[in-house]
Structure 1
Amino acid sequence: MSIEFLITSIAVILLPGIGVLYTIAVGLGRGFRASIVAAAGCTVGILPAALASIIGLAAIFHTSALAFQVVKYLGVLYMLYMAWNILRDGGALDVKKGDINKEPVSMMRTAVKGTLMNVLNPKLSLFFLAFLPQFVEVGHPDATATMFLLAGVFMLLTFIVFSGYGLCASLAHEYVIKRPGVLKWLKRSFAATFGFLSVRLALSDR
Protein backbone atom coordinates (compact mmCIF):
# COMPACT_ATOMS: atom_id res chain seq x y z
CA MET A 1 0.00 0.00 0.00
CA SER A 2 1.49 3.29 -1.14
CA ILE A 3 1.48 6.74 0.39
CA GLU A 4 -0.15 7.91 -2.85
CA PHE A 5 -3.13 5.68 -2.11
CA LEU A 6 -3.50 7.10 1.41
CA ILE A 7 -3.25 10.70 0.27
CA THR A 8 -5.66 10.19 -2.64
CA SER A 9 -8.15 8.34 -0.43
CA ILE A 10 -8.14 11.04 2.24
CA ALA A 11 -8.59 13.74 -0.40
CA VAL A 12 -11.57 11.90 -1.89
CA ILE A 13 -13.15 11.25 1.51
CA LEU A 14 -12.74 14.87 2.63
CA LEU A 15 -14.82 16.09 -0.32
CA PRO A 16 -18.34 16.98 0.90
CA GLY A 17 -20.85 14.38 -0.27
CA ILE A 18 -24.11 12.92 0.97
CA GLY A 19 -22.33 10.87 3.63
CA VAL A 20 -20.50 13.90 5.01
CA LEU A 21 -23.68 15.98 4.97
CA TYR A 22 -25.64 13.28 6.76
CA THR A 23 -22.99 12.79 9.45
CA ILE A 24 -22.76 16.54 10.07
CA ALA A 25 -26.55 16.84 10.26
CA VAL A 26 -26.73 14.04 12.82
CA GLY A 27 -23.84 15.54 14.80
CA LEU A 28 -25.54 18.93 14.95
CA GLY A 29 -28.92 17.54 15.87
CA ARG A 30 -28.11 14.58 18.11
CA GLY A 31 -24.53 14.82 19.27
CA PHE A 32 -21.25 13.01 18.85
CA ARG A 33 -22.42 9.47 19.74
CA ALA A 34 -25.12 9.56 17.11
CA SER A 35 -22.72 11.01 14.54
CA ILE A 36 -20.35 8.08 15.18
CA VAL A 37 -23.20 5.70 14.40
CA ALA A 38 -24.04 7.70 11.27
CA ALA A 39 -20.39 7.56 10.19
CA ALA A 40 -20.36 3.80 10.79
CA GLY A 41 -23.52 3.37 8.72
CA CYS A 42 -22.07 5.37 5.82
CA THR A 43 -18.89 3.29 6.02
CA VAL A 44 -20.79 0.00 5.94
CA GLY A 45 -22.68 1.31 2.91
CA ILE A 46 -19.38 1.38 1.01
CA LEU A 47 -18.92 -2.39 1.39
CA PRO A 48 -21.35 -3.55 -1.35
CA ALA A 49 -19.77 -1.18 -3.88
CA ALA A 50 -16.26 -2.25 -2.91
CA LEU A 51 -17.15 -5.94 -3.17
CA ALA A 52 -18.93 -5.39 -6.47
CA SER A 53 -15.93 -3.65 -7.99
CA ILE A 54 -13.50 -6.28 -6.75
CA ILE A 55 -15.44 -9.24 -8.15
CA GLY A 56 -16.36 -7.38 -11.32
CA LEU A 57 -20.09 -6.93 -10.79
CA ALA A 58 -19.79 -3.17 -11.19
CA ALA A 59 -19.30 -3.83 -14.90
CA ILE A 60 -23.03 -4.58 -15.02
CA PHE A 61 -23.69 -0.87 -14.70
CA HIS A 62 -21.61 -0.29 -17.84
CA THR A 63 -23.50 -2.89 -19.88
CA SER A 64 -27.00 -2.77 -18.38
CA ALA A 65 -28.66 0.61 -18.67
CA LEU A 66 -31.72 -0.71 -16.85
CA ALA A 67 -29.74 -1.86 -13.81
CA PHE A 68 -28.02 1.50 -13.55
CA GLN A 69 -31.26 3.46 -13.99
CA VAL A 70 -33.15 1.44 -11.35
CA VAL A 71 -30.48 1.93 -8.69
CA LYS A 72 -29.96 5.55 -9.74
CA TYR A 73 -33.58 6.55 -9.27
CA LEU A 74 -33.83 4.71 -5.98
CA GLY A 75 -30.91 6.86 -4.88
CA VAL A 76 -32.62 10.00 -6.19
CA LEU A 77 -35.79 9.23 -4.25
CA TYR A 78 -33.84 8.53 -1.09
CA MET A 79 -31.93 11.81 -1.27
CA LEU A 80 -35.19 13.71 -1.80
CA TYR A 81 -36.54 11.94 1.26
CA MET A 82 -33.49 13.08 3.23
CA ALA A 83 -34.06 16.68 2.09
CA TRP A 84 -37.66 16.49 3.33
CA ASN A 85 -36.57 14.81 6.56
CA ILE A 86 -34.18 17.69 7.32
CA LEU A 87 -36.81 20.38 6.71
CA ARG A 88 -39.69 18.80 8.64
CA ASP A 89 -40.26 19.35 12.36
CA GLY A 90 -38.62 16.59 14.37
CA GLY A 91 -36.34 15.72 11.48
CA ALA A 92 -32.59 15.12 11.32
CA LEU A 93 -31.72 18.75 12.08
CA ASP A 94 -34.37 19.45 14.69
CA VAL A 95 -32.00 20.75 17.36
CA LYS A 96 -33.36 21.55 20.82
CA LYS A 97 -31.68 22.46 24.06
CA GLY A 98 -30.65 19.37 25.96
CA ASP A 99 -31.14 16.98 23.05
CA ILE A 100 -27.45 16.23 22.87
CA ASN A 101 -27.55 14.56 26.28
CA LYS A 102 -30.55 12.39 25.59
CA GLU A 103 -30.44 8.83 24.34
CA PRO A 104 -31.20 8.89 20.60
CA VAL A 105 -34.54 7.47 19.58
CA SER A 106 -32.95 4.78 17.44
CA MET A 107 -29.26 4.31 16.78
CA MET A 108 -30.12 1.49 14.38
CA ARG A 109 -32.25 3.78 12.24
CA THR A 110 -29.44 6.33 12.15
CA ALA A 111 -26.99 3.67 10.95
CA VAL A 112 -29.40 2.20 8.39
CA LYS A 113 -30.06 5.62 6.84
CA GLY A 114 -26.34 6.20 6.43
CA THR A 115 -25.86 2.75 4.93
CA LEU A 116 -28.71 3.17 2.43
CA MET A 117 -27.26 6.43 1.15
CA ASN A 118 -24.15 4.70 -0.14
CA VAL A 119 -25.83 1.42 -1.14
CA LEU A 120 -28.24 3.39 -3.36
CA ASN A 121 -25.43 5.28 -5.06
CA PRO A 122 -24.58 3.40 -8.28
CA LYS A 123 -21.63 5.67 -8.97
CA LEU A 124 -19.86 4.39 -5.88
CA SER A 125 -19.28 0.98 -7.45
CA LEU A 126 -18.03 2.65 -10.62
CA PHE A 127 -15.70 4.77 -8.51
CA PHE A 128 -14.15 1.73 -6.90
CA LEU A 129 -13.93 -0.04 -10.25
CA ALA A 130 -11.80 2.83 -11.55
CA PHE A 131 -10.05 3.71 -8.29
CA LEU A 132 -8.70 0.48 -6.77
CA PRO A 133 -6.91 -1.01 -9.82
CA GLN A 134 -4.74 2.10 -10.08
CA PHE A 135 -2.90 1.03 -6.94
CA VAL A 136 -2.39 -2.64 -7.83
CA GLU A 137 0.55 -3.65 -10.00
CA VAL A 138 -0.23 -5.44 -13.24
CA GLY A 139 0.34 -9.15 -12.82
CA HIS A 140 0.41 -8.95 -9.03
CA PRO A 141 0.02 -12.54 -7.73
CA ASP A 142 -2.33 -11.43 -4.94
CA ALA A 143 -4.19 -8.67 -6.78
CA THR A 144 -7.60 -9.62 -5.35
CA ALA A 145 -6.33 -9.76 -1.78
CA THR A 146 -4.55 -6.43 -2.29
CA MET A 147 -7.74 -4.77 -3.51
CA PHE A 148 -9.63 -6.13 -0.50
CA LEU A 149 -6.94 -4.62 1.72
CA LEU A 150 -7.11 -1.26 -0.06
CA ALA A 151 -10.91 -1.23 0.18
CA GLY A 152 -10.69 -2.00 3.90
CA VAL A 153 -8.22 0.84 4.45
CA PHE A 154 -10.45 3.20 2.46
CA MET A 155 -13.42 2.28 4.66
CA LEU A 156 -11.38 2.78 7.84
CA LEU A 157 -10.25 6.20 6.64
CA THR A 158 -13.86 7.05 5.77
CA PHE A 159 -15.00 6.21 9.29
CA ILE A 160 -12.21 8.27 10.86
CA VAL A 161 -12.78 11.34 8.66
CA PHE A 162 -16.57 11.20 9.00
CA SER A 163 -16.24 10.83 12.78
CA GLY A 164 -14.10 13.98 12.73
CA TYR A 165 -16.81 15.82 10.84
CA GLY A 166 -19.36 14.55 13.36
CA LEU A 167 -17.25 15.69 16.31
CA CYS A 168 -16.90 19.20 14.88
CA ALA A 169 -20.64 19.33 14.22
CA SER A 170 -21.53 18.15 17.73
CA LEU A 171 -19.25 20.80 19.25
CA ALA A 172 -21.27 23.42 17.36
CA HIS A 173 -24.54 22.14 18.87
CA GLU A 174 -24.80 24.73 21.66
CA TYR A 175 -23.93 27.54 19.26
CA VAL A 176 -26.71 26.44 16.92
CA ILE A 177 -29.49 26.06 19.51
CA LYS A 178 -28.87 29.59 20.78
CA ARG A 179 -29.34 30.98 17.29
CA PRO A 180 -32.64 29.88 15.67
CA GLY A 181 -31.78 31.85 12.54
CA VAL A 182 -28.61 29.83 12.07
CA LEU A 183 -30.56 26.58 12.46
CA LYS A 184 -33.14 27.68 9.89
CA TRP A 185 -30.35 28.57 7.46
CA LEU A 186 -28.63 25.22 8.07
CA LYS A 187 -31.85 23.28 7.47
CA ARG A 188 -32.49 25.05 4.19
CA SER A 189 -28.87 24.71 3.08
CA PHE A 190 -28.66 20.99 3.87
CA ALA A 191 -32.04 20.29 2.27
CA ALA A 192 -31.11 22.29 -0.83
CA THR A 193 -27.81 20.43 -1.09
CA PHE A 194 -29.51 17.04 -0.91
CA GLY A 195 -32.01 18.26 -3.49
CA PHE A 196 -29.19 19.44 -5.77
CA LEU A 197 -27.38 16.10 -5.43
CA SER A 198 -30.57 14.21 -6.27
CA VAL A 199 -31.10 16.31 -9.41
CA ARG A 200 -27.48 15.87 -10.47
CA LEU A 201 -27.76 12.11 -10.01
CA ALA A 202 -31.05 12.00 -11.92
CA LEU A 203 -29.51 13.86 -14.87
CA SER A 204 -26.37 11.74 -14.97
CA ASP A 205 -25.95 9.07 -17.63
CA ARG A 206 -23.02 7.17 -16.07
Structure 2
Amino acid sequence: MDLSAYLGFVVVSAAEVATPGPSTLFLVNNALSIGPRRALGVLSGDLVAIALLGVLSVVGLSAILEAHPTVFLALRLAGAGYVLWLGWGCLRSPSVLSTGRPGTQAAGKTDMQLWLHSFGVGVSNHKAFLFFTALFPQFIPVGSGRPVLLLFVLIVVIVKFAVLGSYALSAREVRRIFARPEHARRGRTLSGFVLLAFGGLEHHPIRKHPVKAAVLLFCWLLGRRDVAIGSV
Protein backbone atom coordinates (compact mmCIF):
# COMPACT_ATOMS: atom_id res chain seq x y z
CA MET A 1 0.00 0.00 0.00
CA ASP A 2 1.28 3.42 -0.98
CA LEU A 3 1.48 6.00 1.82
CA SER A 4 -0.44 8.43 -0.39
CA ALA A 5 -3.43 6.06 -0.30
CA TYR A 6 -3.51 6.21 3.48
CA LEU A 7 -3.10 9.98 3.52
CA GLY A 8 -5.80 10.43 0.92
CA PHE A 9 -8.16 8.22 2.88
CA VAL A 10 -7.48 10.24 6.04
CA VAL A 11 -8.17 13.54 4.25
CA VAL A 12 -11.46 12.35 2.73
CA SER A 13 -12.57 10.72 5.98
CA ALA A 14 -11.80 13.89 7.93
CA ALA A 15 -13.72 15.99 5.40
CA GLU A 16 -16.79 13.78 5.80
CA VAL A 17 -16.57 13.53 9.61
CA ALA A 18 -15.96 17.27 10.06
CA THR A 19 -19.19 18.11 8.24
CA PRO A 20 -21.78 18.82 10.96
CA GLY A 21 -24.39 16.12 11.32
CA PRO A 22 -26.41 14.27 13.99
CA SER A 23 -23.30 12.86 15.70
CA THR A 24 -21.65 16.28 15.88
CA LEU A 25 -24.70 18.07 17.23
CA PHE A 26 -25.39 15.35 19.79
CA LEU A 27 -21.77 15.51 20.99
CA VAL A 28 -21.67 19.31 21.22
CA ASN A 29 -24.89 19.41 23.25
CA ASN A 30 -23.52 16.75 25.59
CA ALA A 31 -20.22 18.59 26.02
CA LEU A 32 -22.05 21.80 26.90
CA SER A 33 -24.33 20.11 29.44
CA ILE A 34 -22.27 17.33 31.05
CA GLY A 35 -18.74 18.48 30.26
CA PRO A 36 -16.20 17.48 27.59
CA ARG A 37 -14.75 14.54 29.54
CA ARG A 38 -18.06 12.75 30.01
CA ALA A 39 -19.09 13.65 26.48
CA LEU A 40 -15.99 11.90 25.14
CA GLY A 41 -16.96 8.79 27.08
CA VAL A 42 -20.44 8.92 25.57
CA LEU A 43 -18.86 9.36 22.12
CA SER A 44 -17.48 5.83 22.38
CA GLY A 45 -21.00 4.55 21.68
CA ASP A 46 -20.97 6.26 18.29
CA LEU A 47 -17.46 4.96 17.59
CA VAL A 48 -18.48 1.38 18.40
CA ALA A 49 -21.44 1.73 16.03
CA ILE A 50 -19.24 3.06 13.22
CA ALA A 51 -16.71 0.26 13.78
CA LEU A 52 -19.53 -2.30 13.62
CA LEU A 53 -20.85 -0.86 10.36
CA GLY A 54 -17.31 -0.78 9.00
CA VAL A 55 -16.71 -4.45 9.82
CA LEU A 56 -20.02 -5.43 8.21
CA SER A 57 -18.99 -3.46 5.12
CA VAL A 58 -15.63 -5.25 5.02
CA VAL A 59 -17.25 -8.69 5.27
CA GLY A 60 -19.71 -7.91 2.51
CA LEU A 61 -17.14 -6.23 0.26
CA SER A 62 -14.62 -9.05 0.71
CA ALA A 63 -17.22 -11.68 -0.15
CA ILE A 64 -18.19 -9.84 -3.33
CA LEU A 65 -14.59 -9.35 -4.47
CA GLU A 66 -13.67 -12.98 -3.79
CA ALA A 67 -16.64 -14.27 -5.76
CA HIS A 68 -16.60 -11.67 -8.54
CA PRO A 69 -13.22 -9.87 -8.88
CA THR A 70 -14.44 -7.98 -11.96
CA VAL A 71 -17.03 -6.25 -9.80
CA PHE A 72 -14.22 -4.22 -8.20
CA LEU A 73 -14.07 -1.75 -11.11
CA ALA A 74 -17.82 -1.26 -11.04
CA LEU A 75 -17.72 -0.67 -7.29
CA ARG A 76 -14.90 1.80 -7.73
CA LEU A 77 -16.82 3.79 -10.33
CA ALA A 78 -20.01 3.67 -8.28
CA GLY A 79 -18.04 4.67 -5.19
CA ALA A 80 -16.54 7.65 -7.00
CA GLY A 81 -20.05 8.72 -7.96
CA TYR A 82 -21.22 8.41 -4.38
CA VAL A 83 -18.30 10.49 -3.07
CA LEU A 84 -19.16 13.12 -5.69
CA TRP A 85 -22.76 13.06 -4.49
CA LEU A 86 -21.60 13.58 -0.89
CA GLY A 87 -19.48 16.53 -1.96
CA TRP A 88 -22.34 18.08 -3.92
CA GLY A 89 -24.60 17.56 -0.93
CA CYS A 90 -22.17 19.50 1.28
CA LEU A 91 -22.20 22.42 -1.14
CA ARG A 92 -26.00 22.52 -1.36
CA SER A 93 -26.86 21.86 2.29
CA PRO A 94 -28.10 24.67 4.58
CA SER A 95 -25.39 26.92 5.97
CA VAL A 96 -26.75 27.10 9.50
CA LEU A 97 -27.36 24.18 11.80
CA SER A 98 -29.20 24.51 15.08
CA THR A 99 -27.55 22.79 18.03
CA GLY A 100 -30.55 23.40 20.26
CA ARG A 101 -30.34 24.57 23.83
CA PRO A 102 -27.45 23.18 25.89
CA GLY A 103 -28.54 20.38 28.17
CA THR A 104 -31.84 19.60 26.48
CA GLN A 105 -30.66 16.14 25.40
CA ALA A 106 -28.47 15.11 28.33
CA ALA A 107 -30.34 16.51 31.35
CA GLY A 108 -31.43 13.82 33.76
CA LYS A 109 -29.91 10.93 31.79
CA THR A 110 -27.30 8.46 33.03
CA ASP A 111 -24.06 7.84 31.17
CA MET A 112 -25.38 4.47 30.00
CA GLN A 113 -28.53 6.06 28.60
CA LEU A 114 -26.45 8.64 26.78
CA TRP A 115 -24.06 5.94 25.54
CA LEU A 116 -26.95 3.93 24.12
CA HIS A 117 -28.31 7.08 22.51
CA SER A 118 -24.89 7.75 21.00
CA PHE A 119 -24.72 4.17 19.71
CA GLY A 120 -28.19 4.59 18.22
CA VAL A 121 -27.18 7.80 16.45
CA GLY A 122 -24.20 6.02 14.92
CA VAL A 123 -25.79 2.71 13.97
CA SER A 124 -28.89 4.37 12.48
CA ASN A 125 -26.74 6.32 10.05
CA HIS A 126 -27.42 4.33 6.89
CA LYS A 127 -25.00 6.54 4.97
CA ALA A 128 -22.07 5.14 6.99
CA PHE A 129 -22.39 1.69 5.39
CA LEU A 130 -22.58 3.26 1.92
CA PHE A 131 -19.62 5.51 2.76
CA PHE A 132 -17.42 2.55 3.67
CA THR A 133 -18.46 0.53 0.64
CA ALA A 134 -17.97 3.49 -1.70
CA LEU A 135 -14.72 4.76 -0.25
CA PHE A 136 -12.69 1.57 0.17
CA PRO A 137 -12.39 0.76 -3.57
CA GLN A 138 -11.09 4.30 -4.20
CA PHE A 139 -7.92 3.74 -2.18
CA ILE A 140 -7.42 -0.03 -1.79
CA PRO A 141 -5.71 -2.01 -4.60
CA VAL A 142 -7.35 -5.07 -6.10
CA GLY A 143 -6.52 -8.19 -4.10
CA SER A 144 -6.20 -6.46 -0.74
CA GLY A 145 -7.23 -8.78 2.06
CA ARG A 146 -9.50 -8.18 5.00
CA PRO A 147 -6.64 -7.01 7.28
CA VAL A 148 -6.08 -3.98 5.03
CA LEU A 149 -9.80 -3.25 4.91
CA LEU A 150 -10.08 -3.54 8.69
CA LEU A 151 -7.11 -1.18 9.04
CA PHE A 152 -9.05 1.40 7.04
CA VAL A 153 -12.03 0.92 9.35
CA LEU A 154 -9.72 1.61 12.30
CA ILE A 155 -8.46 4.75 10.55
CA VAL A 156 -12.03 6.04 10.21
CA VAL A 157 -12.69 5.41 13.90
CA ILE A 158 -9.49 7.22 14.91
CA VAL A 159 -10.21 10.15 12.59
CA LYS A 160 -13.76 10.46 13.92
CA PHE A 161 -12.53 10.39 17.51
CA ALA A 162 -9.89 13.05 16.75
CA VAL A 163 -12.29 15.38 14.93
CA LEU A 164 -15.28 15.01 17.24
CA GLY A 165 -13.00 14.98 20.27
CA SER A 166 -11.70 18.40 19.27
CA TYR A 167 -15.31 19.53 18.88
CA ALA A 168 -16.09 18.35 22.41
CA LEU A 169 -13.10 20.16 23.91
CA SER A 170 -14.11 23.41 22.22
CA ALA A 171 -17.89 22.91 22.30
CA ARG A 172 -18.84 26.51 23.06
CA GLU A 173 -16.78 27.86 20.20
CA VAL A 174 -18.02 25.13 17.86
CA ARG A 175 -21.63 25.91 18.75
CA ARG A 176 -21.05 29.59 18.07
CA ILE A 177 -19.43 28.78 14.71
CA PHE A 178 -22.28 26.48 13.70
CA ALA A 179 -24.71 29.33 14.33
CA ARG A 180 -22.88 31.73 11.98
CA PRO A 181 -23.82 31.33 8.31
CA GLU A 182 -20.45 32.37 6.88
CA HIS A 183 -18.44 29.96 9.05
CA ALA A 184 -20.79 27.04 8.50
CA ARG A 185 -20.80 27.74 4.77
CA ARG A 186 -17.00 27.77 4.58
CA GLY A 187 -16.71 24.52 6.49
CA ARG A 188 -19.25 22.77 4.28
CA THR A 189 -17.68 24.21 1.14
CA LEU A 190 -14.25 22.94 2.15
CA SER A 191 -15.61 19.48 2.91
CA GLY A 192 -17.59 19.49 -0.31
CA PHE A 193 -14.64 20.38 -2.52
CA VAL A 194 -12.36 17.83 -0.85
CA LEU A 195 -14.93 15.11 -1.54
CA LEU A 196 -15.52 16.34 -5.09
CA ALA A 197 -11.78 16.41 -5.77
CA PHE A 198 -11.13 12.88 -4.60
CA GLY A 199 -14.30 11.53 -6.19
CA GLY A 200 -13.89 13.19 -9.56
CA LEU A 201 -10.12 13.16 -10.05
CA GLU A 202 -9.73 9.41 -9.68
CA HIS A 203 -6.67 9.15 -11.93
CA HIS A 204 -5.38 12.72 -11.55
CA PRO A 205 -1.86 13.13 -10.07
CA ILE A 206 -3.24 15.45 -7.38
CA ARG A 207 -4.61 12.39 -5.60
CA LYS A 208 -1.03 11.33 -4.95
CA HIS A 209 -0.55 14.51 -2.92
CA PRO A 210 -3.64 14.60 -0.68
CA VAL A 211 -2.20 16.91 1.95
CA LYS A 212 -1.08 19.43 -0.64
CA ALA A 213 -4.44 19.19 -2.37
CA ALA A 214 -6.20 19.91 0.92
CA VAL A 215 -3.99 22.97 1.48
CA LEU A 216 -4.77 24.25 -2.02
CA LEU A 217 -8.49 23.87 -1.44
CA PHE A 218 -8.29 25.52 1.97
CA CYS A 219 -6.38 28.52 0.63
CA TRP A 220 -8.77 28.89 -2.28
CA LEU A 221 -11.74 28.72 0.05
CA LEU A 222 -10.46 31.48 2.29
CA GLY A 223 -9.58 33.64 -0.71
CA ARG A 224 -5.95 33.89 0.33
CA ARG A 225 -4.60 35.34 -2.89
CA ASP A 226 -1.29 36.16 -1.22
CA VAL A 227 -0.51 32.48 -0.56
CA ALA A 228 1.43 30.87 -3.38
CA ILE A 229 1.90 27.13 -3.62
CA GLY A 230 3.93 25.33 -6.26
CA SER A 231 2.24 23.25 -8.91
CA VAL A 232 1.21 19.77 -7.94
- TM-score interval, smaller chain: 0.5 to 0.7
CA contact (8 A) 2:42 2:114 kept: yes
Residue of structure 2 in register with 1:91 after alignment: 104
Report the equivalent of 2:57: 53
Q: Report the alpha carbon displacement of residue 8 of structure 1 after superposing the two structures with TM.
A: 1.1
Aligned-pair distance for 1:133? 2.2
Alignment deviations for residues 75-106 of structure 1 (CA, whole Å, 9 cap, x no partner)? xxxxxxxxxxx67x973266xxxxxxxxx852
Q: Which residue of 2 aligns with 1:8?
A: 12
Unmatched runs of 5 consecutive residues or more in structure 2: 64-99, 180-232
Report the identity percentage: 27
Question: Which of 167, 170, 176 does residue 169 from structure 2 map onto?
Answer: 167
SS in 2 for 1:45: helix
Aligned to 1:145: 147
Query: Is the contact made by 1:132 and 1:151 (CA closer than 8 Å) also made in structure 2?
Result: no
Whether 1:39 aligns to 2:43 is yes
TM-score with structure 1 setting the length: 0.58
The number of equivalent residue pairs is 137
Deviant stretches of 4+, over 3 Å: none
In structure 2, which of residues 108, 132, 136 is the aligned counterpart of residue 132 of structure 1?
136
Deviations 1:125-177 (A, max 9, x none): 1111111222110123xx211010010011011111111111111x56xxx9x
The 3-state SS of whatever aligns with 2:152 is: helix
Let me know the Cα RMSD of the aligned residues: 3.1
When residues 54 and 113 of structure 1 are mapped into structure 2, their CA distance, relative to the original with a 3 A threshold, is same
Task: Name the residue aligned to 1:155.
Answer: 157
- For residues 94-113 of structure 1, the aligned pairs below 5 Å read 105-113=109-117
**Which amino acid in 2 is paired with 1:115?**
F
Letter matched to residue 25 of structure 1: N
Contact 2:46-2:121 at 8 Å conserved across structures: yes
Structure 1 counterpart of 2:27, from 4, 23, 26: 23
